[in-house]
Amino acid sequence: MADYNPYEMIAFTGSQVLEDNTIVFVGTGLPIISALHAQMTHAPNLLMIFEAGSLAPILELGLPLSVGDTRAANRACFLKGMCQAFELTQRGIADYAFIGGAQIDMYGNVNSTIIGDDYTRPKVRFPGSGGAGAMAASCERTIVIMPLEKRRFVERVDFITSIGFGDGSPDYRERAGVMGAGPYRVITHQALFGYDKRTRRMMLLEVAPGLTPEDIQDKVGFELIIPKEVKTMQEPSAEDLKLLREIDPEGYFLKRRIEE
Amino acid sequence: MAESRIRDISQLKPYERKFEWWGPSPEEARKILASKPKGIRDKRMTLKDAVKKFVKDGINLGIGGFVNTRVPIAIVHEIIRQGAKNLTLSFQSQSLTAEYLAGAMILDENHLSIRRAEMAWWAYEVIGLAPLFRYLAQNGMIEIDDYSNYGMAARFKAGAMGVPFLPVRDMGGTDMELTNRGKMIECPFTGKNVYVVPACHPDVGIIHVQGADKYGNCRIFGPYCTCPEIAMASTYTIVTTEKMIAGKAIRQFPNLTEIPFPVVDAIVHQPYGAYPGAVYGFYWFDMAHIRLFRSACEEFRKTGKKDKLEEYYNKYIFECEDHDDFIRKIPPEDLKRARMLDGGQPLLV
């Protein structure tokens, strides 16, 4: 078995989730790495859109380190601005949103704004929504990447920045005026989650080799739906790891560590 | 009243923000543009004169670009040299520009201060979080109004369109619905809820582009970000440009003009105007220099000591006569590397 680190597992799993002939709205870092890996393996006609304004660029100049980066605009089919990227997304061209955040709850609501309950005097201030809030609302399906840590998988997020299924009621998103279908997958280094169709609650789909569903539940601050059959996550092969490390040779994103 | 169910699940203490325009109202913005002389004229001036003429205490400053892409660094440095108090910042996602202004505030708030920011994101992407934003926000030193990046884009676009608001398909159902100045309404046509955001008209828009003629017609390559919208929404716009384009060439390919002359008030020829940020077709960002600045900021946040910050500002801003002077302090090999990393994207300037 090849030796890999947590973010390589996350990037590889992200790649597996993306289907061919779709458009993924990507943010900086792991989403781009996953999408590039998918393009080089099972999804050659997977295309990317970047919020600063480029559609279907060819990322051959190196890994973009910013979504507004020259590298993210290289040889695009359509290169305009933020309005055009998000308006096409509202219209329905983006199949996947690929976002991160600081906290997530059982209905897939994500916080990237503050910790604390006082908006004017937060305990911790994060960068803010950026594109994520609009992507989670307007792309068809939302994929969230997050390290599996109890402080992140919480009963209630301190601030809902990116909409999930809200309180889980069937018409929460409709009453919020958003168009995309909503949460689809949550990718961590030790588990892959989806959502139960009936309750819209987070559901365990796969666990990393050597771990049990109970191990995963222990790291999550709310009750997961655990079906009878939980698959084992596929691990990246030596060839996959080679590709991933060629995509991010400096290890800007793949070599980061997760506190256990 | 139309509302999502966010109130049922929000963990925030109740928070009400009274609606007010954080800059000119749509009517005031319209009047200012309508009253300007429209003839095509030479708008070149020095950056010093442009900032002196347009940047005043208490204004809403609309910052163009995105994170480190085509960010108006030369203009921001000049604003810091001249000073401006009680600024409202409006932008999409910024790193350097907003942190530079925040650092100036921390060094001397009687010289430069930020009162509030309407924005989507404030950090450095791969390089890390923005230490000074954290410091100001966690200490309640600035008022913040959070939107998504499309929320801010739609607000600038509404300003550029001359309409008071635009409906958008996001932010409803999130805590931004409870905190920002947008509102949920019932759509008069579908009968369903739809979120609307107020126009954003900066008093002064600051933009850096690849090419412009002396009349203010601008070309942008690479992502536009929301630069055209910010220029059109602002009551006055200062543009710095990497290259001057002959007026004849503009008229030959008018399709390429992304910002038209009537909405530009000052044109400044300023090579490296976004450095240490990036300009598509000219140079990539200089990660080492950005880290140098950020580490001075981070040291202040962690220890409260201002020495490193002061040293940076003195060397790279206050002791520089202008932006050319700043660029002369950057080792030529760093500039060369930044140019090479851009990859030489094709331009028509």
CA dist., res. B330 & res. B271, Å (int): 14
Domain boundaries, chain B: 6-12+22-342
The chain A residue lying nearest B143, using CA atoms, is: A120
For residue A162, what are the domain limits? 6-247
Which alpha helices (DSSP H) does A45-93 contain, by range?
A: 70-73, 82-91
CA dist., res. A191 & res. A186, Å (int): 8
B chain contacts of residue A138, beta-carbon cutoff 8 Å: 150, 169-170
pLDDT for residue B289 is more than 90: yes
Q: Do residues B174 and B5 touch, judged by C-beta distance below 8 A? A: no
- Look at A121 and B140 and tell me if their CB atoms are within 8 Å: yes
- Look at A50 and B147 and tell me if their CB atoms are within 8 Å: no
CA dist., res. A218 & res. A240, Å (int): 30
A chain contacts of residue B69, beta-carbon cutoff 8 Å: 52, 66, 68-69
Q: What mean pLDDT, rounded, does chain B reach? A: 97
**Rg of chain A in Å (alpha carbons):** 18
Phi then psi for residue A237, to 5 deg, are -80, 170
The answer to whether residue A38 is domain-embedded is: yes
- Look at A130 and B121 and tell me if their CB atoms are within 8 Å: yes
Q: Alpha carbon of B300 to those of A127, B116, B292: distances in Å?
A: 19, 21, 13
Of chain B, the percentage scoring pLDDT greater than 70 comes to: 100
How confident is residue B16, by pLDDT bands cut at 50, 70 and 90?
confident
Burial of B150 (0-12, 13-18, 19+ CB in 10 A): buried
CATH superfamily of domain region B6-12+22-342: Glutaconate Coenzyme A-transferase (3.40.1080.10)
pLDDT at B349: 85
Phi then psi for residue B52, to 5 deg, are -60, -40
The answer to whether residue A148 is domain-embedded is: yes
pLDDT at A2: 67
- Look at A66 and B284 and tell me if their CB atoms are within 8 Å: no
Provide the total of helices (H) and of strands (E) in chain A, helices listed first: 8, 14
Q: Do residues A71 and A46 touch, judged by C-beta distance below 8 A? A: no
B chain contacts of residue A175, beta-carbon cutoff 8 Å: 3-5, 172-173, 193
Which alpha helices (DSSP H) does chain B contain, by range?
A: 6-9, 26-34, 47-54, 73-82, 96-107, 131-138, 149-161, 175-179, 227-233, 247-252, 287-303, 307-313, 323-328, 332-342
- Look at B195 and A117 and tell me if their CB atoms are within 8 Å: no
Query: How many Å lie between the alpha carbon of B114 and the closest alpha carbon of chain A?
Result: 15
Q: In this structure, how many other beta carbons lie within 10 angstroms of the beta carbon of residue B45?
A: 16
pLDDT digits over B98-150, tens only? 999 999 999 999 999 999 999 999 999 999 999 999 999 999 999 999 999 99
pLDDT digits over B324-333, tens only? 999 999 999 9
Residue type (1 letter), B44: R
The answer to whether residue A255 is domain-embedded is: no
DSSP code string of A84-123 = HHHHHHHHT--SEEEE--SEE-TT--EE-SEESS-TTS-S
SS in 3 state form for B300-320? HHHHCCCHHHHHHHHHHHHCC
Q: Do residues A168 and A107 touch, judged by C-beta distance below 8 A? A: yes
The domain that holds A21 is classified in CATH as: 3.40.1080.10
Q: Which of B138, B225, B226 sits opposite A122 (nearest CB)?
A: B138
Query: How many Å lie between the alpha carbon of A42 and the closest alpha carbon of chain B?
Result: 28
Q: Which of A109, A124, A160 sits opposite B138 (nearest CB)?
A: A124
**Rg of chain B in Å (alpha carbons):** 20
Q: Do residues B65 and B97 touch, judged by C-beta distance below 8 A? A: yes
B chain contacts of residue A127, beta-carbon cutoff 8 Å: 93, 121-123, 129-130, 133
Q: In this structure, how many other beta carbons lie within 10 angstroms of the beta carbon of residue A116?
A: 17
Q: Which residues contact B158 (CB under 8 A, 6 or more apart)?
A: B164, B165, B166, B197, B198, B199, B200, B233
Q: Alpha carbon of B304 to those of B107, B132, B299, B328: distances in Å?
A: 11, 11, 7, 31
The ranges of chain A with pLDDT < 70 are 1-2, 259-260
pLDDT for residue B282 is more than 70: yes
Task: Report which of B224, B213, B225 is spatially closest to residue B254, judged by C-alpha positions.
Answer: B213
- Look at A52 and B146 and tell me if their CB atoms are within 8 Å: no
Q: Which residues contact B238 (CB under 8 A, 6 or more apart)?
A: B47, B50, B51, B54, B72, B75, B204, B205, B206, B207, B265, B266, B268
The half-sphere exposure of B227 on its side-chain side, counting CA atoms within 13 A, is: 35
pLDDT at A215: 98
pLDDT at B344: 77
A chain contacts of residue B242, beta-carbon cutoff 8 Å: none
pLDDT at A258: 78
Q: Which long-range contacts (CB under 8 A, 24 or more apart) does B104-109 make?
A: B104/B80, B104/B313, B104/B317, B105/B136, B106/B132, B106/B135, B106/B300, B106/B306, B106/B309, B107/B306, B107/B309, B107/B310, B107/B313, B109/B85
Q: Alpha carbon of B277 to those of A53, A133, B117, B332: distances in Å?
A: 18, 25, 21, 16
pLDDT digits over B39-71, tens only? 999 999 999 999 999 999 999 999 999 999 999
CA dist., res. B213 & res. A71, Å (int): 27
Q: How many residues does chain A have?
A: 260
The answer to whether residue A260 is domain-embedded is: no
Query: How many Å lie between the alpha carbon of B49 and the closest alpha carbon of chain A?
Result: 30
pLDDT digits over B304-322, tens only? 999 999 999 999 999 999 9
The chain A residue lying nearest B340, using CA atoms, is: A61
The answer to whether residue A1 is domain-embedded is: no
Mean pLDDT of B260-271: 98
Mean pLDDT of B267-288: 97
Q: Which of A71, A129, A166 sits opposite B149 (nearest CB)?
A: A129
pLDDT at A260: 57
Chain A interface mutation, best of B174, B221, B339, highest count of A Cβ atoms under 10 Å? B174
Q: Which long-range contacts (CB under 8 A, 24 or more apart) does A69-73 make?
A: A69/B69, A69/B278, A69/B284, A70/B222, A70/B278, A70/B280, A70/B281, A70/B284, A70/B342, A70/B343, A70/B345, A71/B343, A72/A32, A72/B223, A73/B222, A73/B223, A73/B280, A73/B345
The chain A residue lying nearest B155, using CA atoms, is: A83
Of chain B, the percentage scoring pLDDT greater than 90 comes to: 96
- Pairs across A and B, CB distance < 8 A: 252
B chain contacts of residue A93, beta-carbon cutoff 8 Å: none
* Residues of A with active-site annotation: 51
Q: Which of B150, B192, B345 sits opposite A177 (nearest CB)?
A: B192
Q: Which of A81, A132, A169 sits opposite B5 (nearest CB)?
A: A169
SS in 3 state form for B184-227? EEECCCCCCEEEEEECCCCCEEEEEEEEECCCCCEECCCCCECH
- Look at A133 and B151 and tell me if their CB atoms are within 8 Å: yes
pLDDT digits over A51-85, tens only? 999 999 999 999 999 888 899 999 999 999 999 99
The token pair that represents B182 in the structure block: 């947008």
B chain contacts of residue A51, beta-carbon cutoff 8 Å: 149
pLDDT digits over B83-92, tens only? 999 999 999 9
- Look at B68 and A174 and tell me if their CB atoms are within 8 Å: no
Phi then psi for residue B71, to 5 deg, are -90, 140
